[in-house]
């Protein structure tokens, strides 16, 4: 009964589009959302995939997200656009912003979109892959609900903001990196607690802001950023580009997704796109990307069972496999999708 059902990419997309249309979105907007979420599922990022229909749906139903946003794109300079998402579903605003940034980059060589009035926009790697497939290198980020403390501080004032990168490789596997700023996700601490294990003191602090090896205290406290003050700084950079400069909320001005589901979050994103066609031919780029990966793969592995990999390889491998074998969707999610689609 709890065995997941295998759906093809097309089946999951069709069902997802109907579900989001059932939640009030236009067909075009529902397609944009599902393009991002299905790609997340294909990458194996199921927590950021179609399962998000649950939280997005809850907020759509209480009017915390606008199902029919009037998204405006203002070109404030030849290579710079500001996007007002009008509190639309995150991936709708994200896809519109990505498109706008690619449009100006195609003309100017580099282009940037700064989006405000948005919501959780899914993982970053789908945007990076869409950009890479069109020949663009990308730097993309979003701010997020506050869950981490400033370095040395003792209360939530910044988000575990995701930052992603992509570099195209014509005819080959692009480089894709999608990371949040914490050393580990909270789920990993929850697993340690379940197993009764202690955790490294670099993962999290207790409620008083002091490093802890106790998973229970860690879950009451704050995730630690990678590299301490370095990851703290990087998280701030993402929030300044995505939130402060875009005109969105930032830091503790971001409304909690959980505590205030009916209030707009006013999240912000940024998309920096570089059109590689201006830098050299496709052959030139492909040969450098292939050489780059070969140099990394050539380093003898410390653990022979774990060869060196290039970021993106795991996700692209899962995508190829699931395009062939289908995407496992659990019964509960399938029921929810069918309910909204009905």
Judged by CB under 8 A, the chain residues 208 through 267 that form the site for a copy of itself are 208-210, 226-227, 229-234, 236-237, 240-241, 244-247, 250-252
Q: Does 298 bind a copy of itself (CB under 8 A)?
A: yes
Least distance from a copy of itself to the Cβ atom of residue 173, Å: 14
Lookup: tokens for 24: 């009030």
Cα–Cα distance, 125 to 13 (Å, whole number):
18
* DSSP 8-state code for residue 12: H
135 binds a copy of itself (CB under 8 A): no
Q: At what angle do helices 53-61 and 9-22 cross, to 10 degrees?
A: 10
Distance of CA 215 to the CA centre of its chain: 26
289 binds a copy of itself (CB under 8 A): yes
Q: Is residue 6 close enough to count as binding a copy of itself by CB under 8 A?
A: no
Q: How far is the CB of 81 from a copy of itself (least distance, A)?
A: 8
**Which of 63, 106 has the CB closer to a copy of itself?**
106
Q: How many CA within 13 A on the CB side of residue 17?
A: 12
Please give the residues from 172 up to 191 whose contact with a copy of itself meets the rule CB under 8 A: 175, 177, 179, 183
Contact 138, 128 (CB under 8 A): yes
Residues numbered 301-320 forming contacts with a copy of itself, rule: CB under 8 A? 301-303, 306-311
Q: Which residue has the tokens 């663009």?
A: 136
**Both tokens assigned to 25:** 């979105």
Q: How far is the CB of 22 from a copy of itself (least distance, A)?
A: 38
54/107 with CB nearer a copy of itself: 107
For residues 57 and 89, is the Cβ–Cβ distance under 8 A?
Answer: no
| DSSP 8-state class, residue 244 | I
Report the nearest approach of a copy of itself to the CB of residue 271 (Å): 11
Shortest separation between residue 86's beta carbon and a copy of itself, angstroms: 19
Binding mask 85-124 for a copy of itself (x = CB under 8 A): ----------------------xxxxxx-x----------
For a copy of itself, the closer of residues 65 and 241 by Cβ is: 241
Cβ neighbours of 43 (radius 10 Å): 24
Of 139, 144, 242, 327, which one interacts with a copy of itself (CB under 8 A)? 139
Residue 139 DSSP SS3: strand
Nearer to a copy of itself by C-beta: 50 or 101?
101
**Nearest CB to a copy of itself, comparing residues 314 and 331:** 314
In 3D space, the residue among 81, 85, 82, 79 whose CA is nearest the CA of residue 32 turns out to be 85
For a copy of itself, which residue of 58, 134, 157, 290 counts as binding (CB under 8 A)?
157
The 8-class DSSP code of residue 241 comes to: I
Let me know: does 149 contact 264? Beta carbons within 8 Å: no
- Kindly identify the residues of this chain, within the stretch 37-96, that bind a copy of itself according to CB under 8 A: 76-80, 82
276 backbone dihedrals φ, ψ, rounded to 5°: -70, -10
299 contacts a copy of itself (rule: CB under 8 A): yes
Contact 254, 266 (CB under 8 A): yes
């Amino acid at each position: 009964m709890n065995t997941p059902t295998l759906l093809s990419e097309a089946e999951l997309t069709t069902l997802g589009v109907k579900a989001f249309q059932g939640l009030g979105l236009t067909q075009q907007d529902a397609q944009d959302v599902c393009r991002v979420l299905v790609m997340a599922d294909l990458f194996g990022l199921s927590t950021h995939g179609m399962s998000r229909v649950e939280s997005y749906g809850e907020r759509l139903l209480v009017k915390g997200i606008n199902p029919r946003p009037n998204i405006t794109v203002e070109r404030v300079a030849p290579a710079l656009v500001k996007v007002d998402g009008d509190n639309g579903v995150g991936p709708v605003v994200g896809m519109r912003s990505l498109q706008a940034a690619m449009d100006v980059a195609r003309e100017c060589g580099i282009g940037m979109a700064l989006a405000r009035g948005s919501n959780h926009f899914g993982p970053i790697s789908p945007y990076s892959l869409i950009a890479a497939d069109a020949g663009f290198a990308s730097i993309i980020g979003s701010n997020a609900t506050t869950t981490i403390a400033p370095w040395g501080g003792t209360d939530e004032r910044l988000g575990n903001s995701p930052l992603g990168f992509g570099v195209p490789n014509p005819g080959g596997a692009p480089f894709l990196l999608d990371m949040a700023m914490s050393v580990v996700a909270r789920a990993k601490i929850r697993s340690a607690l379940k197993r009764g294990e202690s955790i490294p003191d670099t993962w999290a602090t207790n409620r008083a802001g002091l490093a802890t090896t106790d998973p229970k205290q860690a879950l009451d406290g704050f995730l630690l950023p990678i590299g301490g003050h370095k990851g703290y700084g990087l998280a701030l950079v993402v929030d300044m580009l995505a939130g402060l400069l875009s005109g969105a909320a930032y830091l503790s001005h971001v409304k909690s997704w959980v505590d205030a589901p009916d209030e707009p979050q006013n999240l912000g994103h940024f998309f920096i796109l570089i059109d590689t066609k201006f830098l050299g031919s496709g052959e030139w780029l492909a040969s450098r990307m292939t050489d780059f990966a070969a140099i990394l793969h050539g380093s003898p592995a410390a653990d022979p069972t774990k060869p060196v990999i290039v970021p993106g390889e795991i996700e692209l491998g899962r995508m190829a496999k699931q395009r062939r074998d289908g995407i496992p969707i659990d019964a509960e999610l399938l029921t929810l999708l069918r309910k909204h689609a009905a």
